[in-house]
Amino acid sequence: MCGTHAGNHMQAGDSAALLGIPLMCLHQPADLLAQRFMTGYLKEAAPERLGDIVDALLRLPEYRFMARECNPPEIFVGDRNKRAGEVAVKFAGGTAAPKEMYEHLAARAWARWCACTCRKAI
């Protein structure tokens, strides 16, 4: 599914145009609200280890549901016992973040970052 995501990017807009109906995407505002919630939620959880982040996510019903659907939160760098350090939360709907953000992230040690990534197309 991830390989076809880019190919499907314009599908909804193209379909609306063919049908002659107006279309408005409100994905970005939802992402911004979810990012605000998750930032506060993880700040309050105060995870010390990467496993603490996964455990905190799995306390949320949406993440428990997705874990049952074979799409749980995953640690890509390090393991459950590694120190979490600073936790960055980034939800990006609509467009990618500016390249300067990635340059900034690349300059930091990977162990200081935990990314919550959806592996399936949204």
73 in any annotated domain: yes
More confident residue, 7 or 4: 7
Residue where the block lists tokens 């995870």: 47
19 in any annotated domain: no
Tokens representing 56 are 């905190």
pLDDT of residue 49: 96
More confident residue, 3 or 46: 46
7 in any annotated domain: no
Range of weakest confidence among 58-62, 69-73, 109-113: 109-113
95 in any annotated domain: yes
More confident residue, 117 or 15: 15
Number of folded domains that form the chain = 1
54 in any annotated domain: yes
Helices 50-58, 27-45: crossing angle, 10 deg rounding: 120
Report yes or no: 4 and 122 within 8 Å, Cβ to Cβ.
Answer: no
More confident residue, 103 or 27: 27
Domain that holds residue 67: 26-112
17 in any annotated domain: no
pLDDT of residue 8: 64
The pTM for the full model equals 0.60
The pLDDT tens digits of the residues spanning 79-108 come to 999 999 888 888 865 556 566 666 666 665
Distance in Å from the first CA to the final CA of the chain: 10
pLDDT of residue 70: 84
Average pLDDT value for residue range 47-53: 97
Tokens representing 24 are 């408005």
